[in-house]
């Protein structure tokens, strides 16, 4: 493991910024990547947000295995958590956000009402580790029909609030959480979804880990995408991990000078196909990777 991107200096700064932003809002919209629903959440979030209500958005659900996403969501819902499953790029999926915000803040709205305070803005911010879709969600929510609310006293200069209709407002800049994990498998998963630097392993190592996982958990998926007429994919168990890479390089005509299959380009291709969903809807937390 190398180059984890986040060392204590970064972390301290991120934590301080997060705490400043947190002071401005009533609730948090926590985003995670549905393909790595547990590992793409920051385990410090509960401590950071204290008693503020929180909604969990399992984003990029269009890329994830729907059965596993639903299973993760239902287990959390049973504990009383508000969980949304969505594709932040589309407006149709964001309708639930406002309802969930209202639901999350029901106790607060009720408390305010008893004190005679009506229509006080409910303010939220989106938070999550890099690349989980925070900016995309903000942009989709801010789409047509929304208006920016100007700076208000007590609001840090430069902060803009996006009106979501009714009394709901969303901070226009996301809170960036740092990935935190002790388990190296989580590092591999986070590198595969692009939330930490690929350098955690070399790209060939990362692709090999993905292939091994896919072979075990999604049998046939590699063959469906890459097998040419004359190529049979080798069974990978206990074998040379580069066998699949070699096969993909040959099928896709990726050669180095001297007619050697270009394993690095094959690895990059497979990872790119996974990230974009071309390999299919895949979740990465079904056992070790
Ligand atoms: P961040 O703020 O949390 O760092 O993430 P950001 O919104 O920048 O999104 C990271 C990438 O993920 C973007 O793609 C974005 O389009 C994509 N994305 C966000 N939400 C979803 C989703 O629900 N489903 C899918 N399939 N993709 C999503 P990009 O390739 O980096 O940029 P772009 O070329 O799409 O603009």
Residue 95: what pLDDT?
Answer: 80
Note whether 28 and 104 are same-domain residues. Answer: yes
Residue 233: what pLDDT?
Answer: 65
Note whether 243 and 135 are same-domain residues. Answer: no
Question: pLDDT of 188-209, one tens digit each?
Answer: 999 999 998 777 778 999 999 9
Note whether 210 and 168 are same-domain residues. Answer: no
DSSP per position, 214-238: HHHHSTTHHHHHH--TT--PPP-TT
Q: How many whole angstroms from 279 Cα to the centroid of ligand 1? A: 18
* Residue that is last in its domain, among 118, 150, 172: 172
Closest C-alpha residue for ligand 1 atom 30? 276
52 CB-near residues (< 8 Å, 6+ apart): 22, 25, 26, 27, 28
Note whether 157 and 75 are same-domain residues. Answer: yes
| CATH number (domain holding residue 253) | 1.10.1580.10
Q: Report CA torsion sign: 106, 111, 114, 120.
A: negative
Residue 35: what pLDDT?
Answer: 98
Note whether 153 and 212 are same-domain residues. Answer: no
Rounded to whole angstroms, the Cα distance separating 75 from 66 reads: 14
Residue 156: what pLDDT?
Answer: 45
Note whether 231 and 160 are same-domain residues. Answer: no
Query: Residues in the chain with pLDDT < 50?
Result: 1-3, 151-156
Residue 155: what pLDDT?
Answer: 42
Note whether 144 and 106 are same-domain residues. Answer: yes
179 inside domain: no
289 inside domain: no
Neighbour-count burial for 13-52, b at 16+ CB within 10 Å, e otherwise: ebeeebeebbeebbbbbbbbbbbbbebbbbeebeebbeee
185 inside domain: no
Question: pLDDT of 228-287, one tens digit each?
Answer: 666 666 655 555 668 889 889 988 999 998 889 999 999 999 999 999 999 999 999 999
| CATH number (domain holding residue 95) | 3.40.50.300
1 within 8 A of 200, measured Cβ to Cβ: yes
Q: Report CA torsion sign: 213, 216, 40, 59.
A: positive
Note whether 122 and 214 are same-domain residues. Answer: no
Note whether 210 and 164 are same-domain residues. Answer: no
* Residue that is last in its domain, among 153, 172, 191: 172
Task: Choose the residue to mutate in 33, 136, 174, 274 for probing ligand 1, maximizing ligand atoms within 8 Å of C-beta.
Answer: 136
Q: How many whole angstroms from 175 Cα to the centroid of ligand 1? A: 16
Closest C-alpha residue for ligand 1 atom 20? 133
Closest C-alpha residue for ligand 1 atom 27? 60
68 inside domain: yes
Q: How many whole angstroms from 107 Cα to the centroid of ligand 1? A: 33
Residue 150: what pLDDT?
Answer: 52
Residue 239: what pLDDT?
Answer: 59
194 inside domain: no
Residue 73: what pLDDT?
Answer: 98
Please give the tally of structural domains in the chain: 2
Note whether 75 and 168 are same-domain residues. Answer: yes
Note whether 92 and 18 are same-domain residues. Answer: yes
Q: How many whole angstroms from 258 Cα to the centroid of ligand 1? A: 38
Segments forming the whole domain that contains residue 161: 9-172
Which residues' Cβ are closer than 6 Å to ligand 1?
59-60, 62-63, 87-89, 128, 130-136, 174
72 inside domain: yes
Note whether 26 and 117 are same-domain residues. Answer: yes
58 within 8 A of 32, measured Cβ to Cβ: yes
Closest C-alpha residue for ligand 1 atom 13? 133
Closest C-alpha residue for ligand 1 atom 22? 60
21 inside domain: yes
């Amino acid at each position: 493991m190398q180059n984890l991107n986040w060392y204590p200096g970064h972390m301290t700064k991120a934590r301080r910024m997060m705490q400043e932003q947190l002071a401005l809002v009533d609730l948090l919209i926590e985003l995670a990547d549905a393909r790595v629903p547990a590992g793409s959440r920051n385990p410090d979030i509960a401590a950071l947000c204290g008693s503020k209500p929180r909604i969990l958005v399992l984003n990029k659900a269009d890329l994830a295995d729907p059965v596993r996403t639903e299973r993760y969501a239902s287990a959390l819902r049973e504990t009383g958590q508000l969980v949304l499953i969505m594709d932040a790029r589309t407006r149709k999926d964001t309708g639930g956000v406002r309802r969930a915000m209202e639901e999350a803040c029901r106790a607060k709205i009720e408390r305010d009402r008893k004190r005679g305070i009506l229509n006080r803005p409910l303010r939220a911010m989106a938070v999550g580790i890099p690349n989980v879709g925070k900016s995309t969600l903000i942009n989709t929510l801010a789409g047509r029909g929304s208006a920016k609310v100007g700076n208000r006293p007590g609001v840090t200069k430069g902060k803009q609030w996006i009106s979501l209709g009714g009394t709901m407002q969303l901070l226009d800049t996301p809170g960036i959480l740092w990935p935190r994990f002790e388990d190296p498998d989580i590092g591999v998963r986070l590198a595969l979804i692009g939330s930490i630097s690929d350098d955690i392993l070399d790209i060939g190592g990362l692709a090999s880990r993905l292939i091994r996982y896919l072979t075990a958990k999604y049998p046939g998926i590699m063959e469906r995408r890459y097998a040419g007429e004359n190529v049979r994919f080798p069974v990978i168990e206990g074998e040379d991990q580069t066998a699949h890479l070699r096969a993909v390089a040959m099928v896709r005509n990726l050669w180095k000078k001297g007619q050697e299959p270009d394993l690095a380009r094959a690895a990059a291709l497979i990872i790119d196909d996974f990230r974009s969903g071309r390999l299919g809807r895949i979740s990465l937390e079904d056992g070790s990777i």
